[in-house]
Amino acid sequence: MRAWIVAVAAIVAGSLLTGCEAGTERSVAGMTPDTTSSSPTPPSSTTTVAPLPSAEQPYPFGTVQAHAPATVGGKAPVVRHIDTAGKPYVFITIDDGAVQDPHALQLIKDSGARPTLFLNQQYVRGHEEYFKQLQDQDNLVIGNHTVTHPNLAKMSYAAQKKEICDDSDDFVKAFGTRPTLFRPPFGNYNADTQRAAADCGLKAVVLWTAAVNDGVVQFQAGNKLKAGDIVLMHFRKTFVEDFTAFIKRAKQDGLTPVPLPDFLA
Ligand SMILES: [Zn+2]
């Protein structure tokens, strides 16, 4: 009799244990993304970047630190460098949108950086959800880069205005906010571009002072990033290498990446 009770107790205990383990496995599997994001140590994947030591925001991101230069004579100002008032800040921008790397969301989040995205509607179309995730989960601001990425300097004012305004109009529908910053494709622009940008509601024509290509940071002057530099990279197959190279370089040069729109409000 006693042996029977022990046996039943063992079976009951065994089934509870099994159920518990199964339940734990299910909940762990279901919680993998949360567990990963809240882990103090980054996962040992080659496609993630360790958080910057300076990942704490030097000021509350999303608050105005400086305003864009004024629009004069109906022409949006051209900005290629930011006056950070001596603060060690650098700005990263990511253009086009042709390749939607699935690692970007987590990589950006882990870095603490807030890139500004200058996107072409031709690349966003059909991939709105990908860029909406970047906007919503990483709090990124989406800027205007024209619909089809043409050489604007060779186009009429009317044609330029259509390329620029249509991009903004589409992004209002796709992302709920109207871009305030503009980057001309190839960095090519003329006075009509500045006028068209202003007429499409854009505050600044934003160029750059450094770029990342094939995992290498390239400088227009000198051999390191400097405070106020605006860095250009792209949504390419080398996204992970390029973004990682930027984060490492900024850290090496003692700079904290901060959001560009905060300084061009
Ligand atoms: Zn481009």
Question: Which pair of tokens denotes residue 27?
Answer: 């909940």
Residue with tokens 């903004």: 168
What is the model's pLDDT at position 138? 84
Euclidean distance between CA atoms 242 and 219, whole angstroms: 14
- Residue 182 bridge partners (DSSP): 144, 205
Averaged pLDDT score across all residues of the chain: 85
How high is the pLDDT of residue 182? 98
Q: Do residues 224 and 253 touch, judged by C-beta distance below 8 A?
A: yes
Residue 114 CA to ligand 1 center (angstroms) comes to 19
Higher pLDDT, 19 or 100: 100
Is pLDDT at 18 greater than 50 in this prediction?
no
The one-character DSSP state at 51 is P
Q: What are the domain boundaries of the chain?
A: 2-34, 68-263
* Residue matched to tokens 């980054």: 42
Quickly state the pLDDT bin for 40 (edges 50, 70, 90).
very low
Q: What percent of the chain has pLDDT over 90?
A: 77
Q: Is the pLDDT of residue 201 over 60?
A: yes
Q: How far is the CA of 6 from the centre of ligand 1 (A)?
A: 73
Give the distance (Å) from ligand 1 centre to CA of residue 21.
51
What distances in angstroms separate CA 180 from CA 13, 64, 136, 260, one per listed residue? 63, 14, 17, 11
Question: How close is the Cα of 248 to the center of ligand 1, in Å?
Answer: 23
Whether 57 has a pLDDT exceeding 50, the answer reads yes
Give me the pLDDT at residue 56, please: 80
Positive or negative CA dihedral for 126, 132, 133, 138?
positive
Instruction: Give the range among 29-33, 145-149, 166-170, 199-203 with minimum mean pLDDT.
Output: 29-33
Instruction: Indicate whether 6 pLDDT > 60.
Output: no
Q: What is the pLDDT of residue 65?
A: 97
Quick one: pLDDT band at residue 55, thresholds 50, 70, 90?
A: low
Between CA 84 and CA 170, with CA 211 as vertex, the angle to 5 degrees is 85
Choice among 15-19, 78-82, 242-246 with the minimum mean pLDDT: 15-19
Neighbours of ion ligand 1 (CB under 5 A): 95-96, 185
* CATH code of the domain occupying 68-263: 3.20.20.370
* Distance from the alpha carbon of residue 90 to the mean position of ligand 1, in angstroms: 20
Distance (angstroms) between ligand 1 centre and the Cα of 99 equals: 12
Instruction: Sort strands 181-182 and 210-213 into parallel, antiparallel or unpaired.
Output: unpaired
Q: What is the pLDDT of residues 115-170, one digit of tens each?
A: 999 999 999 999 999 999 999 988 999 999 999 999 999 999 999 999 999 999 99
pLDDT at position 224 is 97
Q: How far apart are CA 155 and CA 162, in angstroms?
A: 11
Half-sphere exposure (CA, 13 Å, Cβ side) for 222?
Answer: 8
Token pair 């984060």 is found at: 247
